[in-house]
Structure 1
Amino acid sequence: MQEKGLLDKRNLPDREFTELWERIVLPKAIKEKLRNQVLLELTLRSKIPSKAAIPLHGIILLVGPPGTGKTSIAKGVASAAASAIQGAKITFIEVEPHALTSSALGKTQREVRKFLEEVVTEHAAQGPLIVLLDEVETLVADRTKLSLEANPIDVHRSTDAMLAGLDNLAARFPELLFIATSNFEGALDPAFVSRADLVLQIDKPTAEACEAILTDTLNALAEQWPALKKITKQPNYQKLSHELLGLDGRQIRKAVISACTSDIKVVLNPGLLTMEHINEAVSLAKRK
């Protein structure tokens, strides 16, 4: 039976996660930095003689607006790092944070402590483990911004329980890494942010990245409808890419699919999609 709070579990490297990593559009230096940080956490932490001199907590934090691919990046880099460690057997689990929260006084604190002490500990004891904490602000809300009158003390206690649990696990399992994501860095408790060995800001894509995302989306569709490849070769294609500025990666990919609904003929045969269809869908997406 699936443990409470556990959304996903799989062995790394994973084919689906590897494809995510290959399709993620980030500057090469950023992708390499992130992958190397994961490798460092999994391979060097156990060899560091002085934890006081070099305080690695086994936490990577990805922050940025919704739709910028933080969750996909977390999954993808986990698989990419696992692929780089020859013969490694690494487990990946994803936490369902909302399953651990409750309006009942004291229950969130108990559920958080139980999940860390039982579920995470059990998996970490078996070997290298990467844990995805998506929407981590749910579990480590900034205690300095919470009013005890407007918010239950349970929120404070759950943050306390989370921080204490992370410290305990970091000390016991040097091959355990948490990758956390948040849409709201300002909502996170400073004590949690300070524990992160790397905080990486994931922003909306640049014009160059927008073009790469659009091209990747069209190329993926072109595997089934080859006629779509012609769109990327048209003279005004780069101009179209600049029109995408301000949209996040998810919105760009969805805009292409939305463009297919502009005409019933395109719905039935996406190979008939044109730049005009995409332009209309992009304009609509930017008005939302």
Structure 2
Amino acid sequence: ADFARVVEQHGAAARMAVEAGFDAIEVHLGHNYLPSSFLSPRLNSRTDEFGGSLANRASFPRQIVAAVREAVGGQVAVLAKMNMRDGYRGGFDLPESVEFARLLESDGHLDALELTGGSSFMNPMYLFRGDAPYREMAANMPLHPVIRMGMRMVGKGFFKEYPYKPLYFLDNAREFRRALTMPLVLLGGVTDLTGMRTAMDEGFEYVAMARALLREPDLVNRLRADPSTVSRCTHCNLCMSTIYPGTHCHLDDEHVYGEAHPILAEASSADRPETRS
């Protein structure tokens, strides 16, 4: 009954989005949220028809995608975001993720597939790359002070750091481009026109941007006006620590207020690299 309820709720959410006037819907099958957790061999220990083989673990996510398409028909584009790699031992990984993508393609419910990676619960920095703001996360978590202290103590181990580089998911995404014919969306380190053109040359129909647009919502228009435009995002990832009071770029706080936003006050400047000050 719970499976049927959750699947129907995804369909209802899709219908609501169409009624609200949205032009596209993306089903989140990544980052170890509910559908993604079923795909992970490490997280999914079920012994029924929803656990074990890839076909079983993929059943629930595929039902969700089918329900969304049925709910909206051809009124809007339907995309799905899926993990190529969870980023931890025993998680969802190549080549299973490629096979899952083939299943989604064969189902025929999607207009495009967005390729991502990482786990919000097991390895969040695998997605973000760059600086890991665990001290700032601890300072702003709306939890008991003891829990925040624990985050300060173990946060460095949980928020593993991976070097940032442009198009950091491209190598893995090539595996999907070779295996699939459906349109694909490349994300991860897309910040300038050079990266966008590289993605197009590699056969990707679309690119996705996040942190760069959080820093500069007008970045695409600026790139159109001046192809040499460089993103002002520094990949400091302090935006991660603003998810509790309201996600935004902390550099805007310094621009608007002349100093860091009050929510960052508890995280001392001594804890942060100079690039974050």
TM-score bucket of the superposed structures, by smaller chain: 0.3 to 0.5
Larger gyration radius, structure 1 or structure 2: 1
Pick 1 or 2: higher relative contact order, CA cutoff 8 A, min separation 6.
1
TM-score (norm 2): 0.38
TM-score (norm 1): 0.37
